[in-house]
Amino acid sequence: MAEYSIEIEHLVKKFGSLVAVNDINLSIKKGEIFGLLGPNGAGKSTTINMILGLLTPNSGKILVNGIDMQKNPDVAKKQIGIVTQETVVEAELTAEQNLMIFGKLYHIPEPELQKDINFALELSDLTKFKHSYAGTFSGGMKRRLEVSKALMHAPQVLLLDEPTTGLDVQNRSGIWDLLRKINKEQNVTILMTTQYLEEADQLCNRIGIIDHGKLIALGTPAELRQKIGVGSIIEVSADREDLQRVAKAFDKAGLEPKILSNKVTASGGSNATKKIEALVKEISTMKISIHNISMHEPTIDDVFLKLTGSEVRDTAGEYTSTRGSFMAGRGR
Ligand SMILES: Nc1ncnc2c1ncn2[C@@H]1O[C@H](COP(=O)(O)OP(=O)(O)OP(=O)(O)O)[C@@H](O)[C@H]1O
Ligand SMILES: [Mg+2]
In the reported structure, the alpha carbon of residue 158 is separated from the centroid of ligand 2 by a whole-number distance in angstroms of: 16
Assess if residue 315 is contained within a domain.
no
pLDDT in the model for residue 315: 32
46 lines ligand 1 (CB under 6 A): yes
51 close to 62: Cβ distance less than 8 angstroms: yes
> Could you tell me the CA-to-CA distances from 33 to 192, 283, 291 in Å, in that order?
8, 44, 39
The torsion angle over the Cα atoms of residues 39, 40, 41 and 43, rounded to 10 degrees, is 50
* Whole-prediction pTM: 0.81
Q: For 179-201, how does the pLDDT look when each residue is reduced to its tens digit (9 = 90+)?
A: 999 999 999 999 999 988 888 88
Q: Check which CATH number belongs to the domain holding 87 and give it.
A: 3.40.50.300
Categorize the per-residue pLDDT at 1 as very low, low, confident or very high, splitting at 50, 70 and 90: low
Question: Which residue, of 220, 241, 259, is where some domain finishes?
Answer: 220
> Could you tell me the CA-to-CA distances from 88 to 85, 117, 146, 225 in Å, in that order?
9, 18, 7, 36
Same domain, 202 and 269: no
Assess if residue 329 is contained within a domain.
no
Rounded to whole angstroms, the Cα distance separating 295 from 266 reads 10
In the reported structure, the alpha carbon of residue 50 is separated from the centroid of ligand 2 by a whole-number distance in angstroms of: 12
48 lines ligand 1 (CB under 6 A): no
Q: Nearest bound ligand to CA 21?
A: 1
Same domain, 259 and 170: no
> Which ligand 1 atom is the nearest neighbour of the CA of 39?
25
Assess if residue 305 is contained within a domain.
no
Mean pLDDT of the chain: 87
Q: Nearest bound ligand to CA 209?
A: 1
45 lines ligand 1 (CB under 6 A): yes
Assess if residue 323 is contained within a domain.
no
49 lines ligand 1 (CB under 6 A): no
Residues 6+ apart with CB under 8 A from 184: none
In the reported structure, the alpha carbon of residue 140 is separated from the centroid of ligand 2 by a whole-number distance in angstroms of: 19
- Name the residue type at position 93: L
Residues 6+ apart with CB under 8 A from 15: none
Greater model confidence, 199 or 19:
19
Counted domains in the chain: 2
Residues 6+ apart with CB under 8 A from 153: 78, 81, 103, 106, 108
Q: For 132-166, how does the pLDDT look when each residue is reduced to its tens digit (9 = 90+)?
A: 999 999 999 999 999 999 999 889 999 999 999 88
Assess if residue 331 is contained within a domain.
no
Assess if residue 122 is contained within a domain.
yes
DSSP states of 310-332: PPPPSS-SS---SS--B-TT---
Nearest to 28 by CA among 60, 63, 68, 52: 63
- Name the residue type at position 101: I
Categorize the per-residue pLDDT at 129 as very low, low, confident or very high, splitting at 50, 70 and 90: very high
Assess if residue 136 is contained within a domain.
yes
Rounded to whole angstroms, the Cα distance separating 146 from 89 reads 7
| Domain range for 119 | 4-220
* Residue 61: strand, helix, or coil: strand
Nearest to 294 by CA among 254, 263, 255, 319: 263
Q: For 308-328, how does the pLDDT look when each residue is reduced to its tens digit (9 = 90+)?
A: 776 544 333 333 233 333 333
> Could you tell me the CA-to-CA distances from 150 to 78, 79, 88 in Å, in that order?
11, 11, 11
